[in-house]
Chains A and B, each alone.
Chain A
Amino acid sequence: MADGTAQNDVLVKVEGLSKIFKTADGRTINALTNVNTFVDRGEVVAIIGPSGSGKSTLLRTMNGLETISEGHIHIDGIDLADKKTDMNALRADVGMVFQHFNLFQHKTSLENITLPQTLVRKRTKAEADQIAMDLLRQLGLDHLANNYPSQLSGGQQQRIAIARALAMQPKLMLFDEATSALDPEMVGEVLDLIKGLATDGMTMCLVTHEMNFAREVCDRVIFMDAGELVETGKPAEFFAKPSTDRAHQFLDKVL
């Protein structure tokens, strides 16, 4: 998938990206320092690295949940660092899946999936319902359409959350540790769903601690450490023979 290297295949381009947080007590934290990378259309990229290395921050700048301190991110040609960019319109095209699902607590599964469609995509309720029910059926979750999030297991909630994002027909899906908050027996059902999306050609960036999954499903691995993009490569090569010491040390610890 990532092999068609023609220029116009690039969906996400990250150039000289830095992110500086200012804490309440006036300190500054360099969460990202001069990160350069890209994601091709149809590519599945795993972002890995130790805690606090800036993985989430990188992902969150890609849909404007964090502002850009320096540098640029282009998604499908749209410059996220440009003040004039309509972030809400961009976010409609970029799906985000959170560690803690973040389903709208006062809405049923079905309503969680229809609400963004009607509000943001301006679909009629009938259209939105149709799309939502089709998705729920595909995922084998249609029997849970009228349940509230509090009545669902973690794995079910996360799959509904993914369906909510998919209903917007995004160009890009971002996953921030989508399985980290799940009981072990529910991790599989969510990973299987993501695997299916990869097979369907969805462009995805996944922050993950599931190294086997990254190796198996992803086209490329990005290794972050201390806010820097240290190394990137094909999973087979990266996991077998990382070219930097930092990646080596990290893999020694987690594998």
Chain B
Amino acid sequence: MLELTLQTMPFLLEGFLNTILISLAAISLGSFVGLVLGLGRTVGPKPVQNIIGLYVHLVRATPFLVQIYIVYYVLPTTKLSIFDFSNFMAAVIALTIYTSSYTAEIVRGSLEAVPKGQWEAAAAVGMKMRQRLLNVILPQAWKLTLPPLAGVYVLVIKGTSILTVIGVVELMRQGEDAIHRHPAHIMWILFLVASLYFIYCFPILRGIKYMEKKIAAKGARSVAGDAQW
């Protein structure tokens, strides 16, 4: 078993590296796009809100597998050179779209969860929309995005395993290859693959828990700190 592990590990790690690269790229790009879309959906002009709403619903109501096929197989048939990407690029793009749609909804939900009175008070003192968002709304809203965002990030990381269908060399793909070579050890190889996913995802979930606790504690501390009067 040790021998098998030592033998397949470098091979799995090669895929794992791509899993990390693709998911990190998709998470950062998708979060940024999602933030912009979420803001546009909440405070943008009505037509913009509607277009973003349509995008979000389209992406969320279709399976990721379909999306990746469209990005990698259908778009290039238009023969437009901008759609002429490698499978690696296609993977990043499809996952970015996926991440952005969920992030946009999370951002919108947290912006709307800030009480209306906060928006009105910020407006009533003469702040411009940008100032209201930056100084009053977002500082109260961002904490609310953390737990659901962590959930989406973990979904995205695990979602990279689907990329095997367009031949991206990622962790799942390498796992499948290893199983073909050592069919007798399917259990052990799957265990190794699952462990690597776990090692990647678990700290994210824990990290968010820790941040949530820290934020809560900070609130509590400021209460305690001022209790001197």
**Residues of A bordering B, CB below 8 Å:** 63, 65, 88-96, 98, 100-106, 115-116, 119-120, 143-144, 146-148, 150-151, 161, 164-165, 168
Given contacts A100-B117, A148-B222, whether A92 and B229 have CB atoms under 8 Å apart is no
For A105, the chain B residues whose CB sits under 8 A away are 118, 140
Which residue from chain A places its CB closest to the CB of B223 in the assembled complex?
A151
- The reply to whether A63 and B226 form a contact with Cβ atoms under 8 Å apart is no
Per the 8 Å Cβ criterion, residues 105-134 of B in contact with A are 115, 117-118, 120-128, 131
B139 touches A106 (CB 8 A): yes
Chain B, residue nearest A115 (CB): B135
Q: Tell whether, in the assembled complex, residue A98 and residue B222 are in contact, meaning their CB atoms are under 8 Å apart.
A: no
Q: Are A119 and B135 in contact (CB under 8 A)?
A: yes
Contact (Cβ within 8 A) A104 B122: yes
The distance from the CB of A89 to the nearest CB of chain B, in whole angstroms, is 7
Cα distance A161–B140 when bound, in Å?
Answer: 18
Complex Cα distance A245/B120, Å? Answer: 36
- Pair A147/B226 contact, Cβ less than 8 Å: yes
* Number of A-B residue pairs having CB atoms within 8 Å of each other in the complex: 72
Minimum CB distance partner of A99 in chain B = B117
Which one of A106, A147, A168 contacts B126 once the chains associate, using CB atoms below 8 Å?
A168
* Pairwise interchain contact B126-A88, C-beta atoms closer than 8 A: yes
The tally of residues in B whose CB lies under 8 Å from a CB in A reads 21
What is the predominant secondary structure among interface residues of chain B facing chain A?
helix
A92 touches B117 (CB 8 A): no
- In the complex, given contacts A106-B140, A148-B226, A151-B226, what are 20 additional A-B residue pairs having Cβ atoms less than 8 angstroms apart? A65-B120, A65-B123, A88-B123, A88-B126, A90-B126, A91-B124, A93-B126, A98-B124, A102-B117, A104-B122, A116-B126, A119-B135, A143-B229, A146-B226, A147-B226, A147-B229, A148-B223, A161-B121, A164-B125, A168-B125
Q: Given A98-B117, A102-B121, A106-B140, A92 and B126 touching (CB < 8 A)?
A: yes
Q: What residues of chain A lie closer than 8 Å to B128, measured between beta carbons?
A: 88
* B25 interface contact, C-beta 8 A: no
A120 near B125: Cβ-Cβ < 8 Å: yes
Asked whether any CB of chain A lies closer than 8 Å to the CB of B136, the reply is yes
CB closest residue in chain B, given A63: B124
A65 in contact with B124 given A100-B117, A104-B136 (CB within 8 Å) = yes
* B222 lies within 8 A of A96 (CB): no
* B120 pairs with A88, CB closer than 8 A: no
Residue of B nearest to A60 (CB): B120
Instruction: Tell me the complex Cα distance, A102–B127, Å.
Output: 15
Q: Within 8 Å CB of A148, what residues of B?
A: 222-223, 226
Please, how many angstroms separate the alpha-carbon atoms of A146 and B223 in the complex? 11
22 A-B contact pairs sorted by A residue (CB < 8 Å): A65-B123, A65-B124, A88-B123, A91-B123, A91-B124, A92-B125, A96-B120, A98-B117, A98-B120, A102-B117, A102-B120, A104-B121, A104-B122, A104-B136, A105-B118, A119-B135, A144-B229, A146-B226, A147-B229, A148-B222, A150-B223, A168-B126
